Homo-oligomer: A and B are copies of this chain.
Amino acid sequence: MTIREEMKLVKLASPKLAATAGETRNAALEAVSAALLAHQEEIFAANRADMEQARQDGVPGPILKRLKFDEGKMRDVIAGIRDLVAMQDPLFQTQLKRELDEGLVLEKVTCPIGVIGVIFEARPDALIQISALCIKSGNCVILKGGSEALRTNKKLFEIIYGAVRESGLPEYCMMQLEARSEITELLECHESVDLLIPRGSNAFVQYIMNNTKIPVMGHADGICHIYVDKDADLDRAVPIIFDAKTQYVSACNAVETLLAHRDVAAELMPRLKAALDEKQVEIRGSREIADLIDCAPATEADDASEYLDYILSVKTVSDMQEAIDHINYYGSHHTDCIVTENAAAAEQFMNLVDSAGVYQNCSTRFADGYRYGFGAEVGISTGKIHARGPVGLDGLLSCKYKLYGQGQIVADYASGAKQFHFKDL
């Protein structure tokens, strides 16, 4: 069977999975937990082999750290599955119930999206989380993990798919791609795949977005800003900027550009520089900033750069509107923050900045499904169609309209013989 033929079978399985009861999907999640624990030694052994290979191939430290799957990570994913089981069934939820006329009742109910393709980095725990979210939400999933985790992923998929099949979920409700070349085939299967969620580098996500007709949810850039207002409390501003820049530099929600109101820049910058110097953060400043502190010169390219590194570009603005305009023009609509004690200014900033996350007086690093209390996330979306921001279970849902009648026909309403009365139930 070719990859394409198998994807068609996944598509055919999707209405069957969508119709399964919440208890069946929860039982499948419990079975997955049990099977993972029962086979953990095999999983760890496969992961050791992947780690060994990756070390031989000179894979860098941070990637090795994500690749590793040990007892601590197993505990976390098992806890995550338990949280999902405890959550209300997201499917068959009635969002609207309306009597259009006597004996003609409309219901809008939640349903899964269908078949979701997820392309993710070499992190075995991500495979488990994504699978669990898709099982809970009744979505068929096609998984393609980073190649460094090949052996671990193969083992995990075998265990998870086996457990869900034994629990009564339909054949082909999950599928795994192994070779990178299979991504090309996935991108072409718009008749079988309803949504793609690519995770990874900016260039990779851009590539996916430019090479498929399948709707794509996710984000390429993460150029986040902090604007320090003239009414900012600088005792708050400095630690917020320090955290947003240095707590984890390679995250998409780390700050890349600081916009300082001209009235506070002279007091802010020396204090900020002292803090950032601790972590050897390179500041690239506009000419005005260079007059205040010792820093490298910023060019326009810096305004549009996602450094993912210990670098921060800084410029002054003469008012909040200038900051808003800069963010809407150069930003990536991910997460942007205002530091101010002025509630009216904060509200204006938060309404006018066109981003998935708009913050007052806290670190941009909070933009994350776990930190929002969503339990888990499949990714963060900067698009405005469908889910926006961190995407948990909700973002994996669609809806359908059910209309229950007793023989009603449109001709009677078109002729005026009958009238709709629209009564919400």
Q: Which residues of A contact B (CB under 8 A)?
A: 12, 14-16, 18-19, 98, 100, 104, 106, 108, 113-114, 194-195, 209-210, 213, 215, 217, 233, 235-236, 239-240, 242-244, 247-248, 324, 328, 346, 348, 350-363, 365-367, 371-373, 383-386, 388-390, 398-411, 413-414, 420, 422
Contacts and interface: CB of A to CB of B under 8 A. Distances in A.
Contacts of A408: 361-363, 366
Nearest to A359: B403
B213 A210 contact: yes
A398 B410 contact: no
Given A324-B15, A348-B19, A357-B400, A385 B113 contact: yes
Given A15-B351, A359-B402, A371-B420, 16 more contacts: A14-B354, A18-B351, A19-B348, A19-B351, A100-B366, A106-B373, A114-B384, A239-B409, A247-B414, A357-B402, A358-B401, A362-B403, A362-B407, A366-B405, A384-B398, A388-B400
B361 A406 contact: yes
A407 B328 contact: no
A149 B97 CA distance: 38
B389 A401 contact: yes
B384 A401 contact: no
A19 B350 CA distance: 9
B407 A239 contact: yes
A420 B20 CA distance: 34
Nearest to A389: B401
Given A355-B400, A420-B371, A194 B385 contact: yes
Contacts of A16: 352
27 contacts: A12-B328, A15-B328, A15-B354, A113-B384, A114-B354, A194-B385, A215-B383, A233-B407, A236-B406, A239-B409, A242-B409, A243-B411, A247-B411, A357-B402, A358-B400, A358-B402, A359-B402, A359-B403, A360-B402, A361-B408, A365-B410, A366-B403, A371-B413, A385-B398, A386-B386, A388-B398, A388-B399
A contacts with B: majority SS: mixed
Contacts of A18: 351-352, 354
Nearest to A98: B373
B19 A352 contact: yes
A4 to B, nearest CB: 16
Contacts of A414: 247
A198 to B, nearest CB: 15
A352 B398 contact: no
A420 to B, nearest CB: 7
A88 to B, nearest CB: 13
A350 B360 CA distance: 45
A106 B372 contact: yes
Contacts of A404: 346, 359-362
A195 B12 CA distance: 29
Contacts of A233: 407
Contacts of A213: 209-210
Contacts of A361: 404-408
A353 B407 contact: no
Contacts of A405: 359-363, 366
Contacts of A398: 384-385, 388
Contacts of A399: 388-389
